Amino acid sequence: MIYADNKVTDVKIAYIGGGSHGWAWTFMTDLARESAISGTIRLYDIDMEAAKNNECIAKRLFRRDDVVGKWDFTTVGSLQEALTGADFVLISILPGTFEEMQSDVHYPERYGIYQSVGDTSGPGGLLRALRTIPMYVEIANAIKKYSKDAWVINYTNPMTLCVKTLYHVFPEIKAFGCCHEVFGTQKILRNICELTTGIKGIERNEIFVNVLGINHFTWFDQASYKGIDLFPIYRKFIEESFEEGYHDPDRNWANGTFNCAHRVKFDLFQKFGLIAAAGDRHLAEFLPGDWYLKDPETVKSWKFALTTVEQRKVTQKERNERAVRLMNGEEDIELKPTGEEGIMLIKALCGLGRVVSNVNIPNTNGQIPNLPNTAVVETNAVFERNSIKPVVSGRLPEGIRDLIMPHVEDHEMILEAALTCDFELALKAFTSDPLVKGKLSEADARELLTAMIRNTIKYLPEGFKKYI
């Protein structure tokens, strides 16, 4: 990297999963709007054609007159090519295909187990982790070999286990996980504040929060806007609107399976006194199945949805069609703010400012003192030149800690099970997950896990084949 005139040039970024039709386009948009850093993006993907398509889309974008960023994009054929000399590494991959996800999310429904996302916890989260962890072992080893000093940003789910694997393989790695679920809860607090106080024009990042928890099961124990404590405002809004919920005008729960009315958040606030800071679809999966995911009717009563894999396939088809239009010049990427902070964090790490944001990193500095230091936790951290300093967020209330600890313990078992191809250990984690615990007999649990492993065996290590 070259520093001059408050700009950083010749930044080298390796993008693993560079054929993405989600994060990659978001990343391009943010790069196009930023003039303080420039350099080269190396796109690597096992689907090389998808990466080349993104290279074409990016080159069209960066030739536009309204683009201020200056970046070259190139597709490479190996991790070594992507990583050698990289300053930053982005990882955004889909472990497996939607066929594997179909099994992850919907096969357990045959046994009365419902999942609203299926990529982080529950049966789906476990199977996705078993596929993902071996991939991350390979990635971590390659980073250690070819770019050991690079900053590594993970966007892949299951976030916690992806980050945990990177540190397990390469303890000195400079990796962190980024997730926008906290941003969504800040926006809700902003909107409720505007509705109830009459203040207009509040920016999302003006809502100051203390973040503590694990990814997709995060909490705020403090939230304020310019000295205004938002907890009383939030509490009063819930008292008045609990049954109706909060309806985001842009994301009404009735108009899409990715949306919600935030009634799960409201209920958790009434139960525990802290603000749950993730989407209701994610939050529900960390809790006992009879709370919010007992059956489709219960889900509907809480005003969120079971996001089907068929819906994801429809979305992917639409993105594939859009990719063709973008490549052919029939459509342009709109240069509007994406709401993501990846570029801000990269700038801060390059020395262009100081940023406080929520990240997923190991609890080795005791950010949450009453969770194990081996856990990967989500808290705020301070980003400055070549430095991330995690914020000590404080202790979790015991009631919330009791909900989080089974998942922390499961993460340890799932990581070891994936690394050693240990079916019995995977089964132990499977049956102790709150969505499964007490719901199945031992025989049914074994039968279900065996079937799910069989359905995704193409993406699992050889050691699991003996169990099917």
Give CA–CA dist 288/148, Å, rounded.
41
Which pLDDT score is estimated for 249?
64
Which CATH homologous superfamily contains domain 2-178? AglA-like glucosidase (3.90.1820.10)
Contact present, 391 and 380 (Cβ < 8 Å): yes
With 90 as the cut, is the pLDDT of residue 1 above it?
no
Instruction: State how beta strands 207-214 and 174-177 pair.
Output: unpaired
Q: Which of 21, 106, 168, 180 is catalytic?
A: 180
DSSP code at position 253: G
Instruction: State the pLDDT at residue 23.
Output: 85
339 pLDDT band, cuts 50/70/90, is confident
CATH 3.90.1820.10 in the chain, residue ranges: 2-178
286, two tokens: 């960390």
pLDDT at 437: 95
Tell me, what's the pLDDT at 247?
A: 83
Report the pLDDT averaged over residues 364-393.
Answer: 97
Question: Is 273's pLDDT higher than 90?
Answer: yes
pLDDT at 255 over 60: no
User: What pLDDT score was predicted for residue 156?
Assistant: 96
Mean pLDDT computed over 325-350: 93
Question: How far apart, in whole angstroms, are the C-alpha atoms of residue 405 and residue 395?
Answer: 13
Contact (CB, 8 A) for 94 and 62: no
Q: DSSP per residue over 84-105, as a string?
A: TT-SEEEE---SS-HHHHHHHH
Q: Where are the beta strands (DSSP E) in 200-282?
A: 207-214, 217-225, 228-229, 275-276
Mean pLDDT of the chain, nearest integer? 95
C-beta separation of 171 from 193 below 8 A:
no
Q: Which of 189, 186, 192, 159 is nearest to 175 (CA)?
A: 159
Residues with Cβ < 8 Å from 461, sequence gap 6 or more?
A: 134, 421
In whole angstroms, what is the distance from residue 166 CA to residue 175 CA?
7
Joined tokens for residue 341: 């902070």
The pLDDT of residue 253 is above 90: no
SS3 content of the chain, % helix, strand, coil (to 5): 50, 15, 35
Predicted pLDDT at 394:
97
Q: What is the pLDDT of residue 256?
A: 61
Q: What band does 6 get if pLDDT is binned at 50, 70 and 90?
A: confident
Residue 69 near residue 105, CB atoms below 8 Å = no
Q: Which amino acid is at 357?
A: S
Q: What is the rounded average pLDDT of the residues 172-181?
A: 96
State how far the Cα of 122 lies from the Cα of 241, in Å rounded to an integer.
30
∠ Cα 56 61 64 (to 5°): 135
Annotation says 180 is catalytic: yes
Asked whether the beta carbons of 169 and 137 are under 8 A apart, the reply is yes
Assess contact for 280 and 262: CB atoms under 8 A: yes
The pLDDT tens digits for 35-70 are: 999 999 999 999 999 999 999 999 999 999 999 999
Dihedral over alpha carbons 234, 235, 239, 240 (to 10 degrees) = -30
Average pLDDT over residues 177-185: 94
